[in-house]
A and B are shown apart, each in its own frame.
Chain A
Amino acid sequence: MRGKQLLKSSSTLLGMIVLGGTVLSACGSAKQTADNNNGADALQLKVMMIQQGPEPPKPDNPSFLKLEHYTNTKLDITWVPATTYDDKVNATIAAGNLPDLMLMRNTRASAQMNAQQSGMFWDLKPYLKDYKNLSKLTSVAIQNNNVDGHLYGIPRERVLARYGLIIRKDWLDNLGLSMPKTVDDIYNVAKAFTLNDPNKDGKNDTFGIQDDKSMELLKQIALYLGAPNGWGIQNGKVAPSFMYPQFKDALALLRKMNSEKLVNNDFPIAPKYDYFNQEKAGMYFSVIDDGDSRHTDLLKADPKAQIDVQENFDGPLGQRVRANSGYDSLIVIPKTTVTSETKLKQILGFLDKLGDPQMDDLFNMGVQGSDYTMDNGKVTKIANAPGVLDIVNFKWDDQTAGNQGDITPLRVKIIQLFKDNEKLAVVDSSAPVTSTTYNTKGKQLDQNITDAEVKYILGQIDDKGWDDAVAKWQKDGGDQVIQEYTADYNKNQAQK
């Protein structure tokens, strides 16, 4: 019958399509090994590491070779691009096929928290004291990685007071304005940037603040107004910031700014940095080191552009700076691959060496001769040098340690702000506590609240809609999360 014949020819075609699909779905990560002059006694390690640059570092990168040489290791690194990194970690955990060393970013998210709690990784707490550098890990970083009293990896230390405002200094000067110092100032400057033609080109083509889906603007305004950073302690309970009245004030202010077009209304889908780099927006909120690292193209394209940063805003509770948790990611050692304590100690020795001053300088500046030249203690970058690239992701100790090398005046200011403002840093109170409910439902709960925030700011829902969303959050498991966090918090307090 004709039908059957037709089916035959069409199924051949279908087969071709399927085959094409299989061939196309190629592997998304690159492998790297290097021939080094390290002898047979070198420690061989399989590592999974994040790649933030467009390409992974080459195996003959001078910094990489020096790192291997200094630590006497042979590293077999799987570089995984940042956009898919967390998914790849979760999939690797699920498959159980783990490397010797792995970087975990979302250490408090369910999949990775479950992995820690199930005993998949070595508890490193008892070993730290035996190592020269590791024993100096900051207590904040250790405390915030507390999982039932254990520490399942080496936290990469980060300065606490990292968040603030990045602003176009030349736009401020053009309009005769001074650096914003309060939330009201932020609003006024945003308005002036939108209406008063800060770039003096005679066109109405600018707006105040760029925001994106991470909604850093909301987080920081809420904090300046008196809400906690993520989670706070309210009447003896660990409570989320969005249950504080000050948070509601921040939401209302953002709603106002969005309706007046001082903030880009497409923030849920807008890429970070783009509007600022295109000279459409004059401010954004982020980690302030972005001010120095994310705008090289902008500064090249427009030599008049000047960028400045600000962290100190006055508010009802005094100056407060949104802090991270004092660390970024954990470097974990899986028990399934590293089975013996001897190997574990070797690996810890490797990590310890990465905290030596020589390595700090390497991470900051690269290798002398190929990346920079040194003249009477003054460091000068070599143009088109290979650079440290993503090898810097191995650095776990103090970001400001070692010779900073050839850096911009803005960078000097940023490092100074980090130091000066450490005492103003407000840390998320939920960082050192755990909750089983959050582990299973957290992602969904967070998403529902974020969606409600966006809808409220864009005027899609009213006060009642917002209150309903919070009530639904409580009912869907939020109340239970609060309860479990509080219980764990009280337990930690009792131990102190």
Chain B
Amino acid sequence: MAIVQTSPEKQLVRRKLVKNNRALHRRFKRHLMFYFMLLPGVLYFLIYKYVPMLGVLIAFQNYQPFLGFAGSKWVGFQHFTYFFSEDTFWLLFRNTLILALYNLIFFFPLPIIIALLLNEMRKEVFKRVIQTMIYIPHFVSWVVVVGITYLLFSAEGGGVINEMLASFGMQKINFLLSDSWFRSLITFQVIWKDTGWGTIIFLAALAGVDPQLYEAARMDGAGRLRQMVHITLPAIRSTIVILFILRLGSFLDSGFEQIFLMLNSMNREVGEVFDTYVYTMGIQNGDFSYSTAVGLFKSAVGLVLVVGANFLVKKFGEEGIY
């Protein structure tokens, strides 16, 4: 039998490993309490987030509740191929994409602009009051927001907007039963509800800008606008980028409740999105496997978008989210 000779390099590597291992062990021991405190959080995510994720496997089955997960038949990618071959797929894809783009173009920049405006305010009290006022709509549930929209925009039930139009001698517009107004209404609701809330993070970022920079700029004769362009914006750039990437992850989430409540026969053509379709097929139609497949597809697209955007951002020298 040959004696296994270990080369000096290998020994070195091993010693290093052992040392590392020992260091890790020591660190673990020293921070034992912290790890203990971490435990509930980890358990929460394991039990409520990771374990249920196994449920996506039913997308590859013909899931029958009575037969259960183990007893149901495996069908591979059947549900996916069926979904991609349907006309509905392109309808959903188009509607979801357009709504997401509306959201990105009209909603995303607004909190930044509002935060910048608030930041320029001289009276602290005034700023605080406005901040609080524009947060409030965030805490109103979608059911209420849609209810208010109905009250404001209805054409026959005496909606305020239409009464106003009529009093100016203009034609009433049937906002709620029209496919051309649907996307604008949805985007408008999102803006009304969440713009104020969205400013929080940007305001936090703005608070962190070193005042000395402004002072120096003022010395050099920079006006307010110049300070904003050359100091404020670059300072919060990384925050904007990070939030942009995070938003891309939920790019295809169109807000189920909001859209579901606004949908009706007259605007379904432009309003039906992945989220509402999953609900119709899964909960109402009881086609659990199929709707899981649709949902899984949506999540996969979200993942690709986040990873892709992060890659690009890093390429351009920004920080990214990981």
Partners in one complex: yes
In the complex, the answer to whether A440 meets B265 with C-beta atoms within 8 Å is no
Which residues on B sit within 8 Å (CB–CB) of A110?
Answer: 285-287
Interface residues of B in 263-292 (CB under 8 A from A): 264-266, 268-269, 280-281, 283-288
- How many whole Å from A212's CB to the nearest CB in chain B? 11
Q: Is the CB of A213 within 8 A of B174?
A: no
Do A269 and B280 touch across chains, with their CB atoms under 8 A apart? no
Contact B268–A451 (Cβ < 8 Å): yes
Chain A interface SS verdict (over half): helix
Q: Is B152 an interface position by the 8 A CB rule?
A: no
- Rounded to whole angstroms, the CA-CA distance of A91 and B291 in the bound complex is 13
* Cβ distance B257 to chain A, nearest Cβ, rounded Å: 11
A94 touches B156 (CB 8 A): no
Assembly CA distance A428 to B288 (angstroms): 28
Question: Which of A2, A91, A120 sits near B238, CB closer than 8 Å?
Answer: A2
Interface flags for B293-322 (1: CB within 8 Å of A; 0: not) read 000000000000000000000000001000
* Residues of A contacting B269 in the complex (Cβ-Cβ under 8 angstroms): 451
Residue of A at shortest CB range from B285? A443
A-B contacts, CB under 8 A, total: 121
Residue B150 contacts which of A2, A93, A269 (CB distance < 8 angstroms)?
Answer: A269
Q: Does B161 contact A (CB under 8 A)?
A: no
Write out the residue numbers on chain A whose beta carbons fall within 8 Å of the beta carbon of B265: 213, 268, 450-451, 453-455
Query: Does A96 belong to the interface (CB within 8 Å)?
Result: yes
Complex interface: chain B residues within 8 A of A6 (CB): 204-205, 208, 236, 238-239
Nearest chain A CB to B187 CB, angstrom units: 20
The 8 Å CB contact of B285, one of A264, A440, A450, A455, is A440
Contacts of A2 on B, CB cut-off 8 Å? 208, 235, 238
Asked if A213 meets B283 with Cβ closer than 8 Å, knowing A118-B65, A266-B155, A268-B177, the reply is: no
A451 neighbours in B (Cβ, 8 Å): 265-266, 268-269
Q: What is the bound-complex CA distance between A118 and B156, given in angstroms?
A: 47
Interface residue count for A (Cβ, 8 Å)? 47
By a CB distance below 8 angstroms, the chain A residues around B254 are: none
The interface residues of chain B lying within 8 Å CB-to-CB of A264 are: 156
CB-CB < 8 A to B238: which residues of A? 2-3, 6
Docked pose: A264 CA to B156 CA in angstroms: 7
Q: How far is the CA of A13 from the CA of B242 in the complex (A)?
A: 14
Cross-chain contact B286 with A114 (CB below 8 angstroms): yes
Q: Which residues of A contact B150 (CB under 8 A)?
A: 269
Nearest CB of B to A494, in Å:
29
Tell me if A444 is interfacial: C-beta within 8 Å of chain B: yes
User: Separation in Å of the B22 CB from the closest CB of chain A?
Assistant: 30
Interface flags for B184-214 (1: CB within 8 Å of A; 0: not) read: 0000000000000000110011001000000
**CB of B112 within 8 A of chain A?**
no
Chain B 31-62 near chain A by CB (<8 Å), digits 1 or 0: 00000000000000000000000000000000
Contact in complex: A111, B174 (CB < 8 Å): no
Which residues in window 195-251 of B have CB below 8 A to A? Answer: 200-201, 204-205, 208, 235-236, 238-239, 242-243
* Contact between B155 and A10, CB atoms less than 8 A apart: no
- Closest CB-CB distance, A251 to chain B, in whole Å? 14
B168 within 8 A of A: no
Q: Is A384 an interface residue, CB under 8 A from the partner? A: no
Flag if B204 contacts A455 (CB, 8 Å). Answer: no
- B4 CB-CB contact with A under 8 Å: no
Please determine whether B283 and A87 come into contact, CB atoms closer than 8 angstroms: yes
In the complex, whether A112 has a CB less than 8 A from a CB of chain B is yes
One of A1, A91, A450 near B319 (C-beta < 8 A)? A1
Q: Nearest chain A CB to B233's CB is how many angstroms away? A: 14
* Chain B hits for A112, CB < 8 A: 286
The complex places the Cα of A336 from the Cα of B71 at a distance, in Å, of 15
Cα(A118)–Cα(B65), bound, Å: 9
- Residues of A contacting B177 with CB < 8 Å? 265-266, 268-269, 458
Quick one: which of A87, A268, A269 has the most chain B CB within 10 A?
A: A269
Of chain A, the residue at the smallest CB distance from B141 is A24
List the A residue with the shortest CB-CB distance to B88: A444
A-B contact pairs, 13 of them (CB 8 A): A3-B319, A6-B204, A6-B236, A7-B239, A13-B204, A94-B65, A112-B286, A118-B65, A336-B66, A443-B280, A443-B285, A447-B280, A458-B177
Identify the B interface with A (CB < 8 A): 64-68, 88, 150, 154-157, 174, 176-177, 200-201, 204-205, 208, 235-236, 238-239, 242-243, 264-266, 268-269, 280-281, 283-288, 319
Lowest 5 CB-CB distances: which A-B pairs, in order? A111-B286, A3-B238, A454-B265, A118-B66, A443-B285
Chain A residues with CB under 8 Å of chain B are: 1-7, 9-10, 13, 86-87, 90-91, 93-96, 109-112, 114-115, 118-120, 213, 264-266, 268-270, 336, 440, 442-444, 447, 450-451, 453-455, 458, 460
Known: A7-B239, A269-B176, A454-B265. 5 other contacts (CB 8 A): A96-B68, A269-B154, A270-B157, A440-B287, A455-B266
